[in-house]
Structure 1
Amino acid sequence: MEFRQGLAALTAVAAVVASVTTLPSPATAVAAVEVGPPCVRENLRVPAGSWQAIKVHHTDPSGRFQIAYATDTDWREHVIRWDNGVPTNLGTPAGSLKEVNEQGDFVGNASSEDGLYRSTAWRYSDGQVSTLPGLPDSVQTIASAIAGDGTVAGWVRSADGQPTAVTWARDNTVRALPGSGDSRAIDVDADGTVIGYLADKPVRWALNAQPEILPGYAPGPDTFWDLTGISAGVVVGEEYTGSSQLALLWAPGTAPTLLARGAAVHAVNARGSVAYEQVYENKQWLRQNGVDRTLPFGPSPFSIADITGLTDDDIAYGNHYSTPVRWICA
């Protein structure tokens, strides 16, 4: 991962973790998965104007709102937000986009112009952009995700470089999440559960609780993890050991489940459906009720597509080259 600690940091983690259950070693084989009919891809409606590219960044779980960056033919950038399929040009962006929620509010990060490459987290709500404050000793703020109630997850960085996982309430009040050592929050569930990293370990913070380490699937001394998201308590992400890349799913209170080998997870929804990609095969899938349905985008390996969000109705959003698309799998 980006931040690595030695034995002392891991000992500190153990001191703050409420409990870690020893789980049996999982089987290494991947069971055969039934393949169902492909999902249906269609282009999104785009706003009036001349565009070089429009790239969808996220969809809210209900599927009402999507956000995108657009570049016009004069190389100017714009933020586009869809509301029930109707796109609106919101003007010049304040920086990079992250996530949108069911109210159409979204978060992102703006880079400083002082040459120090520091970011400032912001929230867009009711037509206004507000800056998300840091902790007393922080010099940088990073927003990662926004929940339906307006809670934002992310982290701040102090002057000595240490990151601290935080959440921002609807009124922008900032709160540090518990735990000793470097930490970052990367997603927040509807019930306020946050996932992220503590001293380079994947963790889950239940609301007002101490961090819980997520167990590895087949970890080794050089293993690291890349979490993607959480929905209805289910966490998804990847585990990397040497050249091995495993797509995993952590349900509450259970050992991690192996979704696929050589795969990257893009999104999970409240139904437990997972959008993922077989990286080396250039194929994208929706795992739906134990059945894989392909998200078609053209003959491999020449076509390029990416998945950036998944609704609770099993509609995936993303891009085919520079065109915003969705895959209907309902």
Structure 2
Amino acid sequence: MLSSLKKPLTVGTLLAAAALGLPGVATAATVGPVDLGTLPGDAFSTVNAINADGTMVGESLPQDVRMRFHPVKWDSQGRIGALPTLGGEQGRPVAVNDHGVAVGWAQDAQGETRAVRWAPDGTVTALPWTGSSDAAVISRTGVVAGGGSTPQSTYVALRWAPDGSVTQLASLPGGGQAVVTGITADGSLISGEAWDAAGNQHAVRWSATGAVTDLSPANQGNPGATAAAINDFGVIAGTVTEAGQHVPVAWKRDGRQVRLDWPAPPASATPRAINRAGVVVGSGEAEFAQSRAVRWSASGVTVLQGARRSEAVAINDSGTAVGNVESVAARWAADGTETILGALPGGDYSWATGIARDGTIIGRSDLPYGWHAVYWPAS
């Protein structure tokens, strides 16, 4: 059974299993999602994040040619409510912490995009920065990180303290552009990607003071290195480039790079998420094969779904991973048991995008006329 495969894993083994159509794991019964609906007058919706209490945030959209984001919040029972903007039409919350504080962006009355924070009661506050900005992540302690444009039109990484004061996170020497990808629970470390003077992409980490650490100084390839996610202990999962392929790696808190098990080139693999225990999930490819959902742990690599196109995109601290199998949402228990999560009535496809501590899963499902945000209650 492919779920029991540990290191070493070869390209030939993966391809042979796919060709035979062997299931990666035992499969549980299909279950269906709960429709989170839209605001009155809108047709589509997307849920972007969920916290430990089941509060969810995302956007509701009208059915027209323009993508107009109306910021919304759902309570743990799936009841939707509108969130305010800064006087403009659009806004988009992308993260929410366990205290119910959400962050993202909203337009002001002049149509400028500003990084914002929504309090649990829905009150919206603009986070200071001169120029357009957006918030991407928030820690349990209320530290927010994201980015903003400078007068030179360079997108730089930013950190806002709980009191709202802003710090521009350092760029690489000679470089400028940088993006945030994650934050620790205490807000002390931020993961991201930054570009050097030659335009090469590097995986980086920032401290609370804004100092930058280049995690991939030797990686000069295109697209270079990525830092996909960071856990609460400061371990970062990402990739470096070797022979034109994505090689999965993890960087320890001390900056030491550890290679995650995967076949040597020409295979590629891409981590997407990491939990507190350091378990990483993502997807991997082998020569002439489609992507396969995989999990990396201290005991090696596990192919979660070896027979069909799949990816794992999120994992909670209990080790339950979620993702997609042939464009249908799926869940993998810590023991590897796969559950296909199904779609809304009338739809054929669904995508799981996140999972809460208690196992509640968020995502979206297609409908004959578009898509709706959905969730699968913890089982």
Aligned counterparts, 1:203-218, within 5 A? 203-208=249-254, 210-216=256-262
Query: Which amino acid counterpart does residue 270 of structure 2 have in structure 1?
Result: D
Correspondence 1:1-330 to 2 at 5 A? 23-25=8-10, 28=17, 29=22, 30-35=24-29, 37-42=31-36, 44=74, 45-48=81-84, 55-60=92-97, 62=98, 64-70=100-106, 77=113, 79=115, 81=117, 86-91=121-126, 94-112=132-150, 114=152, 118-126=154-162, 127-150=164-187, 151-177=189-215, 180-182=218-220, 183-199=225-241, 200-208=246-254, 210-216=256-262, 219=263, 221-231=265-275, 232-241=277-286, 242=288, 244-259=290-305, 261-278=308-325, 280=326, 282-289=327-334, 290-292=337-339, 294=341, 296-297=343-344, 299-301=346-348, 307-317=352-362, 326-329=375-378
Q: Residue 270 of structure 1 aligns to a residue in which SS?
A: coil
Change in 2 beyond 3 A, CA 1:209/1:221: closer
Provide the aligned C-alpha RMSD in A: 3.6
Q: Specify the SS of the correspondent of 2:301.
A: coil
**Percent sequence identity over matched residues?**
19
Which amino acid counterpart does residue 202 of structure 1 have in structure 2?
Answer: P
1:195-253, Cα deviation, whole Å (9 max, x unpaired): 1122342101122152111122xx47443222211112111111134451111111123
Per-residue deviation, 1:53: 5.9
* Cα distance, 1:160 vs structure 2: 1.2
CA distance in 2, matches of 1:83, 1:299: 36
Q: Closer, same or farther in 2 for the Cα pair 1:79/1:162, shift >3 Å?
A: closer
Structure 2 unaligned regions, length at least 5: 1-5, 38-73, 75-80
Q: Distance in 1 between matches of 2:106 and 2:373?
A: 10
Native 8 Å contact 2:7 2:300 kept in 1: no
Q: Distance in 2 between matches of 1:72 and 1:134?
A: 28
Matched to 2:202, the amino acid is T
Distance 1:154 1:48, change over 3 A: closer
Query: What is the alpha-carbon distance in structure 2 between the residues aligned to residue 74 and residue 179 of structure 1?
Result: 41
> How many residues are aligned here?
300
Structure 1 residues 105 and 51 mapped into 2: Cα distance closer, same or farther (>3 Å)? same
Contact 1:64 1:102 in 2 (8 A): no
> Structure 1 79/306 Cα, relative in aligned 2: closer, same or farther at 3 Å?
farther
Unaligned runs of 5+ in 1: 1-20
Change in CA separation of 1:258 and 1:309 when aligned onto 2, cut-off 3 Å: closer
> In structure 2, do the counterparts of structure 1 residues 135 and 79 end up closer, same or farther at CA, with 3 Å as the change threshold?
closer
Counterpart CA distance in 2 for 1:276 and 1:308 is 7
Secondary structure of the residue aligned to 1:244 is coil
Please report how far the alpha carbon of residue 179 of structure 1 lies from its aligned counterpart in structure 2 after TM superposition. 5.7
Aligned to 2:46: none
